[in-house]
Amino acid sequence: MTIGNNPPKKERKSKRIKPVDENAPLLPKRQEDVGFDEFNGASFTGAVFNLSTTIVGAGIMALPATMKVLGLVLGVALIIFMAFLTEASIELLLRFSRAGKSASYGGLMGDAFGKTGRILLQVAVLINNIGVMCCLEHLQVELTMQVCLKGGLENTGGTPVPLFFLSQHSFVFSPLACFKRIDSLSYTSALSVALAVVFLVITVGITIVKLLNGSIAMPRLMPDVTDLTSFWKLFTTVPVLVTAFICHYNVHSIDNELEDSTQIKPVVRTALALCSSVYIMTSIFGFLLFGDGTLDDVLANFDMDLGIPYSSLLNDAVRVSYAAHLMLVFPIVFFPLRLNLDGLLFPSARPFHQANMRFALITIGLIATIFLGANFIPSIWDAFQFTGATAAVCLGFIFPASLTLRDRHNIATRRDKILCVFMIVLAVFSNAVAIYSDAYALIKRNPSHRE
């Protein structure tokens, strides 16, 4: 069964009139037990922006550094390859969802592996999304502090920065977190994508100016492998590329709200094409601009003099636009986090959209947890590089591949199963590389602290 053979939208609406169980969509198109509200389904454009914002987050900043290791040709080729692999894994999720009449990722895992499968999925979403949002918040703190310090706020004792984040949570995160439909975030998602494009346009503009000045050297097209160490370093880019397109935890929510459910496949392809274009352009021009001086987080390169007029102003524009982009990524990642936490804690409770008190308490608790984690834990990066990367590849590749190999409905082809074995091997390998490289970095760093 393919995505094109999905049941018509009328059948999906009639399903929502029935009592909602754990496999049903979070947000039926009704407020009470009878009648529908004014919501008639999400648009194609809104769905594309929501899925694109789910994909593009802080990870985009690590891609230029992968070009430094892999070279432009191999690096761009791998970005395209991972986009196609992600599209294949999402297609498998949706195909098995149709076969099992599952309207959520958790319901699909429960259909294949029982209660244990559903809980594993929910825990993976919690680990991944809390880690992602803490990193987003942490990065915003750094960007805001840099801009505030440059603006002369360093003599105020640091007060404006925490006040800024409290106001940000009160007036930006909290209102956006109160939406009960993911389609309600389509406008902020569109703005988030636009801000990422602003960052890209500034980077491209600076690079073109420096190319015309003759101050940019020829970039490396292929990896520079001279010994075993440099060969091993190539594989450290795998976790970055594998997790660059993880968006699977929002696909069902977006699909459930589409006005025309047969559009989900074009939505996925359009979002992946858009994000791949942004990734490729950012990787190429970021590496062109900074060359071998490209840092693991290319945003850190925008602390230096760019060698062109208005360098300081352009640096601040990059920081501000990207900080605003990250701020608007937060609610789209928060949405499935709250949904899965509720499903984990209250699997038999009444529908989430009808329980306002439960909805409010879970929302407030999660926002407070993320705020504390991002601002008061000394170093969140090392912890979430272990947990986040592991959970992300489970969500994106291991779980979809396992569902296919389980094949409860006997719809998987031989080609599907071969592809799924490859996805599991790739995911396990990327996890092993990530854990090894992070552990090695920690061990190497500790002796210097003792000295």
110-159 confidence digits (pLDDT tens): 988 989 999 999 999 998 888 888 777 777 766 766 666 665 554 444 44
Average pLDDT of the chain, as a whole number: 79
Q: What ranges do the domains of the chain cover?
A: 3-12+42-450
Alpha carbons 16 and 354: distance in angstroms, whole number: 14
Q: Any idea which residue has 């970095």 for tokens? A: 441
Residues forming beta bridges with residue 42, ordered by sequence position: 258
In angstroms, how far is the first alpha carbon of the chain from the final one? 62
Q: What is the mean pLDDT of residues 20-34?
A: 45
Residue 307 has a pLDDT of 76
Residue 176 has a pLDDT of 81
Helix and strand counts by DSSP (H, E) for the chain: 17, 0
Does residue 222 have a pLDDT over 60? yes
Residues forming beta bridges with residue 258, ordered by sequence position: 42
Q: Phi/psi at 258 (nearest 5 deg)? A: -60, 140
Query: Which has the closest alpha carbon to 109: 340, 358, 410?
Result: 340
Residue 242 · residue 397 · CB < 8 Å: yes
SS3 180: coil
Q: Any idea which residue has 């945003």 for tokens? A: 299
Domain 3-12+42-450 has CATH 1.20.1740.10: yes
- ∠ at Cα 403 (398, 408), nearest 5°? 165
Q: What percent of the chain has pLDDT over 70?
A: 76
Residue 299 has a pLDDT of 77
Write the pLDDT tens digit of every residue in 153-171.
Answer: 544 444 455 566 666 666 6
Residues forming beta bridges with residue 17, ordered by sequence position: none
Whole-prediction pTM: 0.82
Residue 41: other Cβ atoms inside 10 A: 18
Residue 333: other Cβ atoms inside 10 A: 22
Q: Phi/psi at 411 (nearest 5 deg)? A: -120, 0
Does residue 244 have a pLDDT over 70? yes
Does residue 7 have a pLDDT over 90? no
Residue 143 · residue 165 · CB < 8 Å: no
Alpha carbons 374 and 168: distance in angstroms, whole number: 14
Residue 130: other Cβ atoms inside 10 A: 23
